[in-house]
Amino acid sequence: MCVFIAVIQLTASAANSVWSRVVVIGASASAGFVLTEPFGGTNTARCKLHHYLDAAIIAPHAPVKNLATALFFLSPDAMAVQQTETATNSQATLVVATDFLFWFCYGQGDSDAERAERFEAGLLALEKIKCPLLVGDIPDASSATNTGIISAEQVPSETARRAANARLKKWTIKHPQVTLVPLAEFMRATKADAEIKLHATTLPAGKTRALLQADGLHPNPRGAAVLALGVLDAFVKAHPKISTKEIRWNAEEVLRGGLKLTK
């Protein structure tokens, strides 16, 4: 009888945990993208963010669901509505939107004012999510134009990008369920091959550029593992009551565990 009660209590605890039903929404960095596999494939599957979140979260949880798509840039407004509604209907306990806002700042836009208006549409879509929400800020991806993965016309001005991040910070303050993920700092550090501090460890300078693919924009499997840990690190820092013991912090272990999940 005691064992049965213990099982019931453990099940109830897991069901009420923030880790119970994690859902990923967003664009290609979350969905996984490899230039040589535009329609997906084995290598693409190895870059999907949810595999590494699954591997990193030690606490009992359902398999992380990934609603992100590499086609997000084609219709951000429609994709945003679809993803946020599906995440809500899935009764998500935590939503990870690392690159969700990227194409609400990048992409179409004839002026800074127009980009600012589009960014508001992205924020409005996210307001449908009432559970804890992790949102990435807007990185400087202008150097990716050198590889042809994005065009110069798709890149916002520095003024527009900074304005978007300033707006995001103000919006986050008014939405206490939201935690800001420093995606811009992740991208800056990897492009500069600079050190990345990750929970109790530091990835040394000279080793971090290798986290990105040759296109200079999308993480490779190791980069996806590190990004997953960066996302979780931001979350536990913002919520001290969440035990850090619920996360596997070793990037190599997360990489290996995530790769196993792709098979």
Residue 91 lies in a domain: yes
Residue 172 lies in a domain: yes
| pLDDT at 5 exceeding the cut of 60 | no
Domain CATH code at residue 47:
3.40.50.1110
- Which one, of 62, 63, 58, 64, lies nearest residue 23 by Cα? 64
Sequence length of the chain is 263
Q: How confident is the model at residue 197 (pLDDT cuts 50, 70, 90)?
A: very high
Mean pLDDT for 234-259 is 96
Residue 92 lies in a domain: yes
Q: How confident is the model at residue 117 (pLDDT cuts 50, 70, 90)?
A: very high
| pLDDT at 73 exceeding the cut of 70 | yes
Residue 262 lies in a domain: no
pTM, two decimals, is 0.93
Q: How many domains does the chain have?
A: 1
Q: Which domain holds residue 41?
A: 21-241
Structure tokens at 22: 């994690």
Residue 15 lies in a domain: no
Mean pLDDT for 41-49 is 97
